Structure 1
Amino acid sequence: MRGAVFHYDEDHDYGYINGVDGKRYIFSRGDLIKDMPLARGMLVEFTPDDGTAHDIVVVRSPAPSPNGSPQQHSRATENRSSKSMGLWAYFLRAVGDDYRNFTGRASRKEFWAFFLWFYVLFGALFGFGILLNLAISGFDDGPTTSIGHIPALLFVLVAILPSIAVVVRRLHDIGLTGWLVLLCYTPAFGAVAFLVFGLLPSQFGENRWGPMPAGVTV
């Protein structure tokens, strides 16, 4: 089957191929017939197998970039993704490339990095909203408007989908179905489920959702 590389994460050694059948297939570097640089949009042929891609070969390289050849561009992309990621980088990737990725795996570091920055940014925006409300209403009379909380509200709305996706990937990483994310939104067990899912170690080796994230110690 033919398809195009949608995303490849060298740090975690997993990626996705959009097949011509409209489905998305997960793969790792071990599924390549020949080791090669990978770039978004690269056309490939592969053997599909229950949501995974095997025996991957390049059909055609992506168009050359203005600053160099396709191979140089692909290698630069690969080198950027192979660098160790900090907490902020994990957060940016979760709200960027992986904001609707419900099929991969997320380590404990990625999980907690996302929610650490989520609450830091939400707290900062909420505090800014309080000051803005006081400035509009007058510091002597106290806040009489809530318009200052609009940025915090918009931030939460934008982060809802990435937050669900990162919890689903965390569940996959410990070998559980992503549907258990619903437990995090139940009134009685939500906080407990969230804490347990975030603390459980990664499932050793490869599971049905892909290989174990790079850098994980079990």
Structure 2
Amino acid sequence: MKWYLKVVKENYANFTGRARREEYWMFVLFNMIFAFAIAFVSIGLGLMTELPLLSSLYFIYVLGIIVPSLAVAVRRLHDTGKSGWFFFVALIPVVGGIWLLVLLITEGDKGTNAYGPDPKEAVPADVIA
């Protein structure tokens, strides 16, 4: 949960620097949990009250989370030594999505790279605990 909050609060639109695999994948996990929960609740409320406005809660959440999702993905690509523009490799049919997934799963560069210092070397004590 703290990784999700770190991305949303501290790095909302931060496209510079690097993000560890753990930060990225924990953000993705909690983002999916929240998205499914909000979709379930908003659809349920929309059906119970027959007000289509309530079913738009999910879309409001998605609009609010697009920027931090892109930012953490770009910082994750930076950790592997790739430019954030590599995110667009996903637009290549079939192979692109697989290639992007491999890039996001790959361990980051050891030490400093062109995008900043290794985030594993300077892990704050409160994140480890």
What interval of TM-score do these two structures reach, taking the shorter chain for normalisation?
0.7 to 0.9
Instruction: Please state how far the C-alpha of 1:193 moved relative to its aligned partner.
Output: 3.7
1:205 to 102, 108, 111: 111
> d(CA) in 2 for partners of 1:202 and 1:118?
22
Provide runs of 4+ in structure 1 moved above 3 Å: none
> d(CA) in 1 for partners of 2:67 and 2:3?
15
Q: Which moved more, 1:167-176 or 1:206-215?
A: 206-215
Residue by residue over 1:61-102, the C-alpha shift from the partner in whole angstroms, topping out at 9 and shown as x without a partner, is xxxxxxxxxxxxxxxxxxxxxxxxxxx111111111211111
1:161 to 40, 62, 67: 67
CA 1:215/1:109 → structure 2, altered by over 3 Å: closer, same or farther? farther
Matches within 5 A, 1:102-121: 102-121=15-34
Instruction: Please state how far the C-alpha of 1:191 moved relative to its aligned partner.
Output: 3.4
Matches within 5 A, 1:106-185: 106-137=19-50, 146-184=52-90
Q: Gaps (5+ residues) in structure 2? A: 123-129
Secondary structure of residue in 2 paired with 1:176: coil
Q: Gaps (5+ residues) in structure 1? A: 1-87, 138-144
> d(CA) in 2 for partners of 1:188 and 1:203?
28
Partner amino acid, structure 2, of 1:115: V
> Which structure has greater helix proportion?
2
In structure 1, the partner of 2:127 is none
TM-score normalised by length of structure 2:
0.84
In structure 2, the partner of 1:74 is none
Q: Is 1:188 equivalent to 2:101 in the alignment?
A: no
Instruction: Please state how far the C-alpha of 1:207 moved relative to its aligned partner.
Output: 0.5
Secondary structure of residue in 2 paired with 1:96: helix
> d(CA) in 2 for partners of 1:109 and 1:188?
27
Secondary structure of residue in 2 paired with 1:99: coil
> Which structure has greater strand proportion?
1
Q: CA RMSD in A?
A: 1.9
TM-score normalised by length of structure 1:
0.51
Residue by residue over 1:172-213, the C-alpha shift from the partner in whole angstroms, topping out at 9 and shown as x without a partner, is 1001111111223x2624532442122101111110111111
Partner amino acid, structure 1, of 2:27: F
Instruction: Please state how far the C-alpha of 1:124 moved relative to its aligned partner.
Output: 0.2
Higher RCO (CA 8 Å, separation ≥ 6 residues): 2
Q: Which has the larger radius of gyration?
A: 1
2:9 to 91, 96, 108: 96
Instruction: Please state how far the C-alpha of 1:215 moved relative to its aligned partner.
Output: 6.2
